[in-house]
Chain A
Amino acid sequence: MMATSPTNENSILDVIEASVTIIVNGREVLVPRSAMLLDAVLAAGIDLPHLCKPESRNPLGACRTCLIEIEGTPRLAASCHTPVADGMIVNTTSERVTRVRRGVLDLTIGMSDDGRGRGLAAEHARSHGIEMSSFTPSPRHPRDESNIFFQLNMSDCILCGRCVDACQRTQHIGAIGINGRGETARIGSAFDSLWEESTCTSCGQCVSQCPTGALLPKHSDPATASRSNSANDDVTTTTCPYCGVGCGLKVHKSNGQISWVDGDHSNDSSQGMTCVKGRFGLEFAQSDERLTTPLIRRNDKLESASWDDALDLVAHRFADSIGSFASIASAKATNEDGYVLQKFTRAVMGTNSVDHCSRLCHAPSVVALMEQVGSGATSNSYEDYDQAGTLLVVGSDTGQNHPVVASRLRRAVQERGASLVVVNPIRIDLCDTAEVHLQPHPGTDIALFNAMAHVILKENLQNNAFIDSRTEGFDAWRKVVEQVSPEIAESITGVSAKDIRTAARLYARPQPGQNGEERGSCLIWGMGVTQHTMGSDNARSLINLALLTGQVGGFGNGISPLRGQNNVQGCSDSGCLPNVMPGYEPVDDLEVNARWSKAWDSDLPTDPGLQSTAMIERMLTGDLKAMYVVGENPLLSDPYLAHAREAFERLDFLVVQDIFMHETAEIADVVLPAVSFAEKYGTFTNSERRVQLVRPIIEPLGKARDDWAITNEIARRILQILERSAFGFQHNSSTEIFEEMTKLTPIIAGLSHERLEQDGGIQWPCPDYEHPGTPRLFENSFPRGRGKFVAVEQGPPAAELPSKKFPLTLITGRSLYHWHGGVITRHVPGLLATVPVVTVDIHADDAKRLGFSNGEDVQIASRRGEIVAEVHISDRMQRGEIFVPFVQLQGVAANFLTNDQLDTAAGIPEYKACAVRLEAPGTPSRKGRGPRMQRKSGITVGNRT
């Protein structure tokens, strides 16, 4: 697994072997053999113009401003796309080359409306002695200001094509191109429609590439702006706070304000990309509405208080609540924050009842993965998506939830000929690129994947060697899937047997690469798999497919549950789970308990704690009296919100620690202001297990403090009250905390902040300082030994099925322009303006039948509540199914409708299917909303055999 490090002598020889020497303006320059002349010229410290060359990407060769003279070559050459050759002699300053280059720059700035050019074009022209073009200005067509975040001004455009390259060949969106030809060429979208009407997702990759400022963020000053040349800005490299992709950001700050975000090209997870939220969604950190002072409830009102008062109150009340306390950690906060919180919960409060939002997203994946392979993490890396022959994307609207991963998937299809198979009841954007779209009815995944396995076995496409040497339980499982023919599955799922066969063949026999090389299949899944009462069984049926074909642990294959929050992986790794310590060591293992008890100088509990969904029930029974909720908003994210609120209101003492006021904080007894990602130093761990640094961009707002520091202080005060030693809570910095974590957690033992500063993100396991990190798990074995086939059978598709009164199935999920419940994105004006209200996607036939038209308000009612949303007729939906994002906008949130029935193994609620009806707004709810739906304990869904 470990790369042998080359000896110094070897590496020097390698460098010489891979290099060539060329002579630039009389000076020798050593450059890599694969370099272009422009690289060599710039390496020699010569400031040669180059306007169209995108960073870290192939040249475009369009602007022709990097012309140089090569000795022995009659014509001048564009250095950006001319490869170096040993002994080449080039000149950038001869009279001839300067004259021609000046001429090209003269033509270039002649395209602007005042003949002076903009941004880098003007700068380079000036460096060649031209202030003003010798040609009469010939500006191009008008402005397009329809996009909310940025604008296009064609009179500043030099048609270098970098924006088009960014849209088409970096992000693979294809919203813009060059329309027209010759002198009528212009940047635009299909049919010259407005930008807003195109397929643009506002990722801003185009803006980041524009050398002149023709594409400009709306709030920028056009006089000074040129995005790829904001050299005077203060730039901080950090990790995106939104989804679990873990994009590297270069955050620019001018006059103390976050002014612009570039993608970090050196980040292996994002390769210079961001989505709209990473690019334009960081404003929240400097919002006026941030919490900046502690609040204490007095006379039923939350009032400002000093830290000292607040912390004392919290410490005393928590000290009184030992035995009836639980905490919820934040998957938004850092590993260091999570580590201190779980340590506090265990070592000070004496309970393992610490959990976080992965309960509501990938708990079933973890349950299934732990059972079948012995580790809950994603097996492979994003780079495997790049190399795969088939990409099977199940229950993930990747384009909305993990936009940058979606870009990599599209790239794999469009540039490398991979086959994309989408399994989703909704016709998601990614289907545009897919070879096959399987559109099963919600909750019928098990039948579908069992049938795929059936086809693979029937057609003898399974990997026998892998099954023999790496798995167990095959024969018993085989008997189950042999019963599920594609025709039977068709009758359950609504997916044609033909498509099931095609998908099975593509997964088991991925397309070879362009040079005929063998390639693997990646299995990628999201909440559509897990947020069901049979979520764990869904995940099992998928993992069985990977075991059957051996598509795991190798180059270009693997099994990846895509993580929803920036640090949901890290929060789990750090031990914010009720059953395991940091590094996934079971709390009930006595040896584990002894080791950690010694390290933390306390008697740690061995009983597994409460899962977050179980906490709700314990609040209602009165067993749970005090809660410490950090960076979470359960009263928006929990299902059946009316019920959850009732439970939280029964608590004796609720502490919420966050950056904004939200539904849960509103009913808290104490609210503690934490700093945002933009003010802290620490680490996030992304969906491919890459531990990456988060660096402070701005000073903490008001009195806000680091989450770890607040928890640490609460712990110290409680320990003082309890007259115990505060030995374990002497933390002074996140770096110290990380040191402690790495010392005690073998999977990250080789990491330190210092190393991450030096090397960038590293994927765990990384057991020692020499270890390069691990892109692929399970290459030769599984943590549990053999991979285990677990037979699962299709049961009823949901706990609550459509009925006469509630005839439609509601599916919830995310919207690209909001993040999660919207606590953060509601504080980003551009995002809020893009999606200001909750919408309901519905098939045209259903809308017609029910008499609702596009844009109209409609009331959606379930057995648990009603909300009003705006009708959005969409070909994304099948008949009988509607989609509502779960973001809360203007007080409307889908989770008032959803069902709190749980998957028994993982404790996840069924967000992806509940029965609803549509009615005119204002239709009265049933009297008193009736009794709470009867919970049936023995419900049989997705029974294991």
Chain B
Amino acid sequence: MKTNASAPLARLREQHPAPRLPRILVHCGTAGNAMGATRYLEELRIALGDRSDSVVEAASDGANWAAPAATVAQGTYMRRFERLDLHGIDDVIACFNGDCGDEANYAGTGGRGLTARLGRNDGTLGDVLAQGGYSALDRALTSTPEQLLDAIEDAGFTGRGGAHFPVATKWRLAAADTHRPRMLVVNAEEGEPGVFKDRHLLEGDPHRLIEGILIAHYAVGFERAYVYINGQARTARAIFENALADAAAAEIFSGAAWNQTFGLKIHVRSGAGGYVCGEESVILNSIEGERPVPRYKPPYATDRGLFGNPTIINNAETLCAITTVFEKPPPPTKLVSLSGDVPRPGLYEIPVDGATTWTSLLVMAGTNPLDVQAILIGGPSGVFVMAEQFEEVLEMRSLGAGGVVAFGSNTDLSQITRELASYNMRESCGECTPCREGTTRMVALLEHPAEHRKEIANLIEILTEGSLCQLGGMAGRPIQSALDQFPTAF
């Protein structure tokens, strides 16, 4: 997607030329490798002989159900070949040689949204630039920071971590405080079970996050950025750090490519382990080397955050999404990590446009909604949505961080509820009494829920009203939801 590239961007593209086509992208990464994708990387290279350098490693494109998979890129045409373990590689080679059959292009080039390049690039800067990388930053640099903030505000961008706070409003809070060094913390912890979007973004399109960080930096003026990546997402961290090194070498990160001095220092930190590490203030403690427990608010991070400085904490997805701000119209999309009893689990970028329903999501995932008795939105802090509610229109707010688990008709939902309570008990940091003691007591009470209806209700209230942070504050939510939605299951 080459749109009105400025001279500096054009120069970058010259220095980092696009890869030669056709070529075959084998979707490896964490999701692909789990299904043995690297084997096909080798097989395809052997099969192509002296053209083996046209077989390149790419990350997952989000279609986890399709792994091991490969995508053939032919000019403006792309086609994904799924389940190579079942279908072999012959069709892939045929397509590479020009015979792709008559199936439609599944995504095509020049896509929109934040997954446009996801897993469909080989990680080189040339490939990323050719697919529109850094054009949003290029565009942002032609406006003033204030105009940029206005554009983000006009586009109605909200945070994608679950709270959906307006991005421009948050950024302005820090931008105003020019006396102290300002900090950006990128939350890529995603400790919530069933959420895997940040890992995909970091593995499949790390330059989009870098671009988002630089756009934020241009708008606010940070001294430092900390990217806090889930401690187990080692592949994601390694790929992201490689991309950072490439962006630095190309003088993108310093701003020199645009004859500017961004002056941003960036640090990558691995998460300290635990669901609670995704909580904003826990991240701050963790980065500072303190015990990973929450801080009370106020003071808010925008006032006294990391090392006592004004700090913006944005979800990785939020910063990736910011790169789509100049798309007309900016797509109101949300990444959904869909898992459970569906034929096509994986990462979906769905439009939150007033038309999408849970049903459409389930259909997308290849299931008959009638086979699903309930879905859980938001994991251990979430709520159950029952079959009769599947026609509800999706809103950003109802999606949380985008974790969706579908339960088929054979699933014992009461057991799921107990497992969620038990998860919250295990993951409680132990700092405050309601959460530490309450989640433990809740597990015991759920052994015999029918006899303890009143106690459970009381405990939910104590957790909700009394806890220090939202792990405890929302630990009662799935239980309340279960009691509301399927009381007879207990």
Q: Are B436 and A159 in contact (CB under 8 A)?
A: yes
CB atoms of A83 and B466 under 8 A apart: no
Shortest A116–chain B CB gap in Å is 16
* CB-defined contacts of B436 to chain A, threshold 8 Å: 159, 182-183, 185
Q: Is A458 located at the chain interface by the 8 A CB criterion?
A: no
Binary flags per residue of B436-476, CB closer than 8 Å to A gives 1, else 0: 11111100100000000001001101101111100001000
Contact residues of A between 143 and 174, Cβ < 8 Å to B: 158-159, 161
Pick from A61, A64, A136 the residue with the most CB of B within 10 Å: A64
Q: Which B residues are in CB contact (< 8 Å) with A183?
A: 425, 428, 430, 436-437, 439-440
Q: How far is the CB of B255 from chain A (nearest CB, A)?
A: 24
Interface size class of B (residues with CB under 8 A): 35 or more
CA of A742 to CA of B105, assembled, Å? 98
Decide if A182 touches B433 in the complex (CB within 8 Å): no
- Choose one: A61, A110, A111; the contact of B432 (CB below 8 Å): A61
Contact between B437 and A107, CB atoms less than 8 A apart: yes
Q: Is the CB of A103 within 8 A of B429?
A: no
Known: A67-B465, A514-B308. A182 touches B432 (CB 8 A): no
Name which residue of chain A comes closest to B438, CB basis: A107
Q: Which residues of B contact A158 (CB under 8 A)?
A: 433
Asked if B465 and A107 sit within 8 Å, CB to CB, the answer is no
Is A99 part of the binding interface, using a Cβ–Cβ cutoff of 8 Å? yes
Residues in B whose Cβ lies below 8 Å from that of A159:
430, 433, 436
Say whether B397 faces chain A, with CB atoms less than 8 Å apart: no
Cβ of A76 < 8 Å from any Cβ of B? yes
Which of B180, B298, B426, B432 is close to A62, meaning CB atoms less than 8 Å apart? B432
A546 to B276, CA, bound (A): 50
Contacts of B296 in A (CB 8 A): 59, 61, 78, 81
A185-B430 contact in complex given A62-B468, A83-B298, A103-B462, C-beta closer than 8 Å: yes
In angstroms, how far is the closest chain B Cβ from the Cβ of A569?
Answer: 36
Interface 1/0 per residue, B404-448 and A, CB below 8 Å:
000000000000000000000111111111101111110010000
Within the complex, what minimum Cβ distance (angstroms) separates B35 from chain A? 34
How far is B455's CA from A103's CA once the two chains are assembled, in angstroms?
10
> Are the CB atoms of B465 and A75 closer together than 8 Å?
yes
CA–CA, A177 to B439, complex, Å?
22
Give the complex CA separation of A78 and B297 in angstroms: 10
Question: A180 an interface residue at 8 Å Cβ cutoff?
Answer: yes
A514 to B179, CA, bound (A): 11
Name the distance in Å between A780's Cβ and chain B's nearest Cβ: 31
Expressed in whole angstroms, the Cα–Cα distance for A67 and B431 within the complex equals 16
Q: Which residue of B lies closest to A103 (CB)?
A: B462
Q: Does B19 contact A (CB under 8 A)?
A: no
Q: Are A103 and B461 in contact (CB under 8 A)?
A: yes
Most buried by B among A76, A134, A135, A177: A135
A927 CB-CB contact with B under 8 Å: no
- Collect the chain A residues with CB atoms within 8 Å of residue B464's CB: 75
Contacts of A63 in B (CB 8 A): 432-433
- Bound complex: CA A159 to CA B465 (Å): 20
- A178 beta carbon closer than 8 Å to chain B: yes
B466: chain A residues within 8 A (beta carbon)? 64, 67, 76, 78, 100-101, 103-104
Q: Check: B274 CB closer than 8 A to any chain A CB.
A: yes
How far, in Å, is B447 (CB) from chain A's closest CB? 12
B274, B291, B455, B465, most chain A CB atoms within 10 A: B465
In the complex, what distance in Å separates the CA atom of A104 from the CA atom of B439? 12
| Complex alpha-carbon distance, A107 and B436, angstroms | 9
Q: Tell me the smallest distance from the CB of B383 to a CB of chain A, in Å.
A: 18
Select the residue from A63, A104, A110 with max chain B CB neighbours within 10 A.
A104
Nearest A residue to B473 via CB reads A75
User: Which chain A residues in 59-86 approach chain B with CB under 8 Å?
Assistant: 59, 61-65, 67, 75-76, 78, 81-83
Tell me, yes or no, whether A531 is within 8 Å of chain B by CB: no
Complex CA–CA separation, A185 to B431 (angstroms)? 8
Known A138-B440, A182-B439, A183-B440; judge A107-B430 contact (CB<8 A): no
- Contacting residues, chain A, for B427 (C-beta < 8 A): 182
- How far apart sit A110 and B459, CA to CA, in the bound complex (Å)? 14
- The docked-state distance in angstroms from the alpha carbon of A159 to that of B431 is 8
Which of A76, A110, A180 lies in contact with B437, CB distance below 8 A?
A: A110
Is A937 an interface residue when CB atoms closer than 8 A count as contact? no
Flag if B274 contacts A515 (CB, 8 Å).
no
**How far does the alpha carbon of A110 sit from the alpha carbon of B441 in the complex, in Å?**
10
Bound Cα distance A99, B464 (Å): 13
* B377 shortest CB reach to chain A, Å: 21
In the complex, which of the residues A107, A136, A514, A515 has the most CB atoms of chain B within 10 Å of its own CB atom?
A107
CB neighbours of A100 from chain B (8 A): 461-462, 465-466
Q: Which of B429, B430, B441, B465 contacts A76 (CB 8 A)?
A: B465
* Known A61-B468, A62-B468, A64-B468; contact A99-B441, beta-carbon cutoff 8 A: no
Cα of A67 to Cα of B296 in the assembled complex, Å: 14
**Residue A181 lies at the interface, judged by CB distance under 8 Å to chain B:** yes
CB distance A515 to B439 under 8 Å? no
Contacts of B179 in A (CB 8 A): 515
Given A67-B465, A515-B179: A104 touches B434 (CB 8 Å cut-off):
yes
**A65 to B434, alpha carbons, bound, how many Å?**
9
Chain B hits for A177, CB < 8 A: 291
Q: When each residue 669-708 of chain A gets 1 if its CB lies under 8 Å from chain B and 0 otherwise, what string results?
A: 0000000000000000000000000000000000000000
* Chain B residue nearest in CB terms to A58: B296
Closest CB-CB distance, B164 to chain A, in whole Å? Answer: 17
Tell me if A544 counts as interface (CB < 8 A to partner B): no
Residue from B296, B440, B467 whose CB has the most chain A CB atoms within 10 Å? B296
Chain B residues closer than 8 Å to A471, beta-carbon distance: none
**A134-B459 Cα distance, complex, nearest whole Å:** 12
Assess whether A108 is interfacial by the CB under 8 Å rule.
yes
- In the bound complex, how far is the Cα of B431 from the Cα of A177, in angstroms? 12
C-alpha spacing A107/B459, complex, angstroms = 10
Q: Nearest chain B CB to A294's CB is how many angstroms away?
A: 59
Residues in B neighbouring A182, C-beta threshold 8 A: 425-430, 436, 439-440
Which residue of chain B has its CB nearest to the CB of A183? B440
B430 touches A181 (CB 8 A): yes
Chain A min CB distance to B307 (Å): 8
Which of A99, A136, A180 contacts B430 (CB under 8 A)? A180
Q: When chains A and B are docked, how far (Å) is the Cα of A710 from the Cα of B5?
A: 96
Chain A residue numbers with a CB within 8 Å of B431 are: 62, 161, 178
| Complex CA–CA separation, A442 to B464 (angstroms) | 63
Chain A residue nearest in CB terms to B292: A181
Given A59-B296, A67-B466, A182-B428, A104 contacting B441 (CB threshold 8 A): no
> Complex formed: what's the CA distance from A918 to B93 in Å?
85
> Can you name the residue of chain A whose Cβ is closest to the Cβ of B472?
A64
How far, in angstroms, from A104 to B440 measured CA to CA in the complex? 13
Within 8 A of A (CB), among B147-205: 179-180
With a CB–CB cut-off of 8 A, which chain A residues contact B467?
Answer: 64
The answer for the CA separation of A65 and B436 in the assembled complex, in Å, is: 14
Contacts of A107 in B (CB 8 A): 433-434, 437-438, 441, 462
> In this complex, what residue of B is CB-closest to A184?
B430
CB-defined interface of A164-203 with B at 8 Å, one 1/0 digit per residue? 0000000000000110111111000000000000000000
User: B426 — which chain A residues lie within 8 A by C-beta?
Assistant: 182
List B contacts of A178 (CB < 8 A).
291, 430-431
Given A64-B468, A183-B440, A515-B179, 13 more pairs with CB closer than 8 A: A61-B468, A64-B432, A82-B298, A83-B298, A99-B458, A100-B465, A103-B459, A107-B434, A138-B440, A159-B436, A181-B274, A182-B427, A184-B430
Q: Please provide the 6 A-B residue pairs with the shortest distance between their CB atoms, ordered closest to farther.
A: A185-B430, A61-B296, A107-B437, A103-B462, A182-B428, A76-B465
Chain B residues proximal to chain A, CB less than 8 Å: 179-180, 274, 291, 296, 298, 308, 425-434, 436-441, 444, 455, 458-459, 461-462, 464-468, 473
Interchain residue pairs with CB less than 8 A apart (28): A61-B432, A62-B431, A62-B468, A64-B432, A64-B468, A75-B465, A78-B466, A81-B296, A99-B458, A101-B466, A103-B434, A103-B461, A107-B433, A107-B434, A107-B438, A107-B441, A111-B437, A135-B441, A159-B430, A178-B291, A180-B430, A181-B428, A182-B426, A182-B428, A183-B425, A183-B436, A183-B439, A185-B436
